[in-house]
């Protein structure tokens, strides 16, 4: 290599390091925004009650297939309403955080940026693969409960990946919670699946809230 090529390579590396540091300064405050604590607590309460209610209906009806159509429609409507409102709430939190940082990026820019979009595409593709694999396995074996441990373990991987990529080691706590539930449900969850789902979702939400609270308190010291 010539001196010019070596210098160009060094300049490219320096530019890459600068870009990575800029992204970390932007993303880390979002991942640890204290406003997510309220959303997480509300989510923990909702999903805990929602899936527990389905579990009670299943116990009364004998199976989920035996639950009345009107009850299923009502449950679906409640679920869609809450997830829609939660999505709006989350979008506002991220947008407010970006505005507070006076960042040039907007919430939509996250999905347009090549680095972010590639990461999100990879994660969504992985989740899609897990769900399809679990569904096919469940269809062939009649054990659809296998979806929860698969999703739980994959979610644990995603959270750990975020902890490593965005230098937020506190996220490993959430990753551990999801992994524990994944392995436990794989061994013990052969009945009362919706109660397991309620426990998993609520525990994950609460661990998220606790992680943010503890992490931000450490950073303030």
Cβ-based neighbours of 4, under 8 Å, separated by 6 or more: none
Whole-number pLDDT of residue 206: 92
Q: Identify the pLDDT of residue 128.
A: 80
Q: What's the whole-number average pLDDT of the chain?
A: 78
Residue 221 scores a pLDDT above 80: no
pLDDT for the residue numbered 148? 81
Q: Check residue 23 and give its pLDDT.
A: 57
pLDDT score for 20: 47
Global pTM reads 0.74
Contact 39, 86 (CB under 8 A): yes
Domain that holds residue 162: 3-220
pLDDT of 81 higher than 90: yes
User: Which of 162, 130, 121 has its CA nearest to residue 149?
Assistant: 130
196 pLDDT higher than 80:
yes
- When computed from its CA atoms, the radius of gyration of the chain, rounded to whole angstroms, is 21
- How many domains does one find in the chain? 1
How far apart CA 74 and CA 53 sit, in angstroms, is 12
**Token duo for residue 126:** 């992985």
| Residue with more model confidence, 47 or 136 | 47
Q: In the chain, which ranges are continuous DSSP H helix?
A: 3-31, 35-61, 69-100, 109-112, 114-141, 147-165, 171-188, 193-220
| 195: Cα separation from own chain's centroid | 20
pLDDT at site 13: 44
* Lowest mean pLDDT, pick from 42-51, 103-112, 116-125: 103-112
**What whole-number percentage of the chain has pLDDT above 90?**
18
Q: What is the pLDDT of residues 133-182, one digit of tens each?
A: 877 776 677 676 777 888 888 888 888 888 887 777 888 888 898 898 88
Q: Which residue has the higher pLDDT, 74 or 95?
A: 74
């Amino acid at each position: 290599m010539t001196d010019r090529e070596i210098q160009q390579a060094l300049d490219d590396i320096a530019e890459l390091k600068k870009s990575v540091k800029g992204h970390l300064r932007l993303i880390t405050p979002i991942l640890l925004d204290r406003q997510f604590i309220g959303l997480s607590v509300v989510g923990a309460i909702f999903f805990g009650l929602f899936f527990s209610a389905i579990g009670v209906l299943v116990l009364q009806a004998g199976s989920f297939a035996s639950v009345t159509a009107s009850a299923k429609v009502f449950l679906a409507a409640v679920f869609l309403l809450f997830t829609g409102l939660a999505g709006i709430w989350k979008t506002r939190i991220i947008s407010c955080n970006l505005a507070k940082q006076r960042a040039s990026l907007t919430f939509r820019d996250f999905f347009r940026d090549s680095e972010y979009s590639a990461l999100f595409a990879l994660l969504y593709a992985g989740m899609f693969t897990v769900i399809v694999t679990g569904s096919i396995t469940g269809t062939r074996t009649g054990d659809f409960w296998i979806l929860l441990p698969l999703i739980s373990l994959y979610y644990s991987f995603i959270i750990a990946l975020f902890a490593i990529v965005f230098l937020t080691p506190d996220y490993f706590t959430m990753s551990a919670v999801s992994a524990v539930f994944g392995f436990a449900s794989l061994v013990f969850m052969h009945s009362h699946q919706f109660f397991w789902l309620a426990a998993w979702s609520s525990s994950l939400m609460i661990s998220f809230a606790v992680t943010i609270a503890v992490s931000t308190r450490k950073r303030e010291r």
